[in-house]
Amino acid sequence: MARVRSQNAKKSGFSLLEIMIAVVIMGILIVMITPQLLRASGRAQNTACAGNVRTISAALAEYQLIHGQLPTGNSVQQLQALVSDGLLSNDALSGNYAIQDTDANNISVTCLSPGGV
């Protein structure tokens, strides 16, 4: 009877070789998937930045139509003026954007965050 129990005990569970093979397979999958996830994250940041640049550009154009001029000051002050007028949400202030408005007919908004447009 004791012999039957010891044979059954050996059959249950995983062997060291089976566990090692499973760990190697998991490692290979992680190595294959990680670069894809990193690229997807970068693309999402670029897409969000491009959308924010378009939104800020539209808000600047609307501000110019309403007030007859662009907001004054550096980029942060200009964004604050757009938020104060209700043309942008407070979320715009959390980003890092550069507004180049030396020519009122050619306004350029650039995303300065890593991986930005």
Residue 117 within a domain: no
Residue 92 within a domain: yes
pLDDT confidence of residue 107:
84
pTM across the whole model? 0.64
CA distance from start to end of the chain: 74
Residue 116 within a domain: no
**What backbone phi and psi angles, to 5 degrees, belong to 107?**
-95, 135
pLDDT confidence of residue 20:
96
Residue 98 within a domain: yes
Residue 62 within a domain: yes
Confidence of residue 10 (pLDDT cuts 50, 70, 90): low
Tokens of 46: 């670029």
Domain, as residue range, for 10: 2-111
Residue 40 within a domain: yes
Number of domains in the chain: 1
- Measured over the CA atoms of residue 115, residue 90, residue 86 and residue 83, the dihedral's sign is negative
| Pairwise CA distance, residues 112 & 14, whole Å | 52
| Pairwise CA distance, residues 64 & 51, whole Å | 20
Residue range 25-72, pLDDT digits in tens: 999 999 999 988 888 888 998 898 888 899 999 999 899 999 988 898
pLDDT confidence of residue 7:
58
Would you say how long the chain is, in residues? 117
Residue 38 within a domain: yes
Residue range 81-109, pLDDT digits in tens: 999 999 988 877 777 888 888 777 788 88
* Mean pLDDT of the region 14-18: 92
